[in-house]
A and B are shown apart, each in its own frame.
Chain A
Amino acid sequence: MTAPLLSIEDLHVSFATRHGVVEAIRGISLSLAAGETLGIVGESGSGKSVTSLAVMRLLDRAGRITKGRITFRGEDITRASRRILQPLRGAAMSMIFQNPRAALNPIRPVGLQIADVLRAHEPLSAQEARARALALLEAVRIREPRARLDAYPHELSGGMCQRVMIAMAIACEPALLIADEPTTGLDVTTQKTVMDLLAETTARRGMAMILITHDLGLAAQYCGRIAVMERGKVVEEAAPRRLFGAPQHPYTQRLVAASPTRDSTVASLVGETETEIPAAPPLPAPAATRGGRLLAVRNLVKRFGGTTAVNDVSFHLESGESLGLVGESGSGKSTLSRLICRLIDQSSGSILFDGAEIGALPARNFHQSLHRRAIQLVFQDHGESLNPRFSAFDSIADPLQRLAGFGRTPALRARVEECADRVGLPRELLHRFPHQLSGGQKARVGIARAIACRPRLLVLDEPTAALDVSVQAVILALLDRLRREEGLSFLFVSHDLNVIRMMCERTIVLQTGQVVEEGPSGRIFAAPQAAYTRELLEAIPHFEPDVAEAVGV
């Protein structure tokens, strides 16, 4: 057995923050052989990204390796100077990042950026470097590579930017490639092509890869070995089959249980965690009238300039029903949800809500309409969608004061507290500001705000996309319970098909502004009719099917 390509021994990393020194990595040991693919999974704050930055020695000023050793190709690089590291980076070990568009220099053509990397490590002329850059763009299968050489990052799609990033990272044939959440934020079909490209490239060139991800399915599909990290420690390390088939550590077990799979249900995701939400008494509900048509959309069209974002879409939603809206970026699902919330005006078509033509009301004046209370929104980014100067109480009270005519009275306080109880937000957190709340707590505030006025339709725009899986599981369970208890209807927008399948009775698949398939969720996921739906479903990374069986979910 030869020496490993990379070995990390008892690594400790701490960060100097305003509140003193924080230990981000607390003694991890990992090793990687040449050509091997290692997955590091964990939730936010587990230290997986810090590990990779420590290996590249790219920690920012505040971060320090306090203990331990990093050895690369037999050489101790724990304290190596820039003079030693710079020739290694890019040539022997390189890295690709989440959010590829931001990772590229916005005002430099991508061809030049690839050439920059090449010329940093090899004595090449500008022409030679350009020729090599072209070859690399072909290698990462970018369409019209010659034209793309002179393109700027903002002229390329997210997937193309990540391909360019990969081209830069593999330009000098490094022995190790670290991919830090390389496909987060990309569409599921793009994710598949990018990951396939990465796997194929590393295999062909004999490169080792460390894949850092929060997506267990992705890690299972592309890694030979997976390390699970929790709060700065590796809690378990094994081959995916073993790890997901028979997780040993309680944290791994929880993580596996919380990850949506082909046949999980909302209840199965949460397990015993659900008990953390105090079961609020059912409301004296506004007559949870099941049945009856709540929303009917007919021939809805929305054009922006020359492009048609929503093209002749018709569907309906029964009272108390949950309808899923899936599609990739550019499919028009966000535009559609905004049209239905009356945040923007349609170009043509009608929107009937509870029998009233709300499509005729200009979006500008809709806040005066009585229907505003009845249609409420839950946003994707729970941090951004809360006013940073409003406490949780103010945020929840805001719609009550504006739409339901509450004054600053004890009745308002009672109502806000009741809403907080219903979403499982501890009352003592109500005076806190958004930055003092965790992601899950902010999500609860956002949901409490949305249900405060007792709406009949809740439009949820990727409500769990920014959350860790364990938090997502709890929030999904909460939403599902709220819907049943309050007789709400959901229009649930998501790119995560598994989430849609669990949360929605019916599903609409959108592609470039048009409905390509519509039907009961179970049928669509079991036997998709449209080719595009099949493509979407096939692109979801799953744990191995037999493993899933072994887990018994």
Chain B
Amino acid sequence: MRDIISRDGTISADTWVVVPRPADGDALSIPDQPALIPADLWLAGKEHFEGRDGIGVWFDSHDEPEILDGLVNELKLIAVNFPKFSDGRGYSIARLLRERFGYQNELRAIGDVLLDQLQFMKRCGFDSYALREDKDATKAARSLSFFSQGYQAATDTDMPLFRRRAS
């Protein structure tokens, strides 16, 4: 089971299952435990999931988070997949979910999540990270805390350094 790292570096066990996108023509099979399903499929079967606990959604890096505009806070957990650590689209998706669509609940990075991405993920609004299993979760707290400040405004702060300097 993967370790889930939180924003302050604490480690917990992952209770969620990521349900992969079914092949064309196949039905979505949802296990009997908290499950993340592809966001567009949740949207398509939204009525079906109403009132059911333990359903979250995930976006792949090429997906458009715009499809959930206005609905994001109906979800307790949204995950964004990093198919490859060098694929940076997930950072933009996270900022849009938080800053444009006002998502308030847990936002999780899944997939090829390595220690050195955590600082960027945190600033872009992710608050939990499913660290890749071969990486040492005890080092996450350190990776999250190298920088005590940044130059830009992002999801974590609406005060870029040039505004903090002025105040």
The judgment on whether A and B are partners is no
Give me the interface of B with A, judged by CB distance under 8 Å.
none
